[in-house]
Copies of this chain bind each other. A is one copy, B any other.
Amino acid sequence: MKIDPKSTGDLSTQIAQAIRDAIIGGDLIVDERLPSEAELADQFQVSRPTVREALKRLAAQSLIRTQRGASGGAFVNRLSFQDAYAQQVTTSTLLLSMNAVKFDTACEARYALERACGPLSAERRNPDHLATMRAEIHRQSQPGLSDEAFCASDVAFHRALVDAAENPVLSYQLAGAVEAMQPLMNMITFTARSREQIVAFHTRIADALEAHDSAAVDQSLRELAAYTISLADQLMRKRKQTT
């Protein structure tokens, strides 16, 4: 594990990269303890603060975890689906909020991805998934629900739909797409969206899943996507009239 002397950038960047490469390359395995900060400083011929900056970079990516005390240190972290999921949601949210992505584009991407797991979900959904979806539908039907809670329930419903595909990789990939879209969705939720309409769509989807009817799931998702986009269009036109 060595740093390239002619490499560019800060020392802490180079050291972080060297350790990252060692982890990805399998030279450091999960739960293995890294040398102590003092040893790393010796090894890389830098000071301890520099080593620490490198370690913090890795910690920010959940590649390592640190523990204080005797027999403590930095350990290679097993990246869990949950960690990866959280990172993806953060990244996707920032990406969408900072790059003025058109609503149509985001919406199209989201429903295209969601429809990708429709057939699998229709095949593999189990009673637990159905129960979760029914529960969320019931919650969405309650009149006293706040807009934020309705949105959260909406996300939970679609999450259950994705999870029903029983494919953790798919769930992970879609998590960011579905959850990062929530802020964008809010834009229209608080104005035009009809809760009855959404609940009706969700009920159709749940029914189709229960019946293992893949085509019906796909059709419902298509229509839900179309409905969502039409709402956004309406809003756009209304805004143009106002200004």
Contacts and interface: CB of A to CB of B under 8 A. Distances in A.
Interface stretch (A59-67, A133-141, A188-196, A207-215): A59-67
Nearest to A84: B95
B108 A95 contact: no
Interface of A is mostly: helix
A182 interface: no
Interface residues of A, number: 55
Nearest to A68: B10
A236 B150 CA distance: 47
Interface in A78-109: 78-81, 84, 87-88, 90-99, 101, 105-106, 108-109
A207 to B, nearest CB: 23
Nearest to A12: B56
Nearest to A30: B98
A94 B80 CA distance: 10
A70 interface: no
A42 to B, nearest CB: 19
A108 B167 contact: yes
17 contacts: A23-B94, A24-B94, A49-B49, A54-B56, A56-B60, A57-B60, A78-B98, A79-B91, A79-B94, A87-B87, A105-B169, A108-B120, A110-B169, A112-B167, A113-B116, A113-B173, A173-B177
Shortest beta-carbon contacts, A-B, top 10: A116-B116, A109-B169, A57-B60, A60-B60, A109-B170, A112-B116, A53-B56, A84-B95, A79-B94, A56-B56
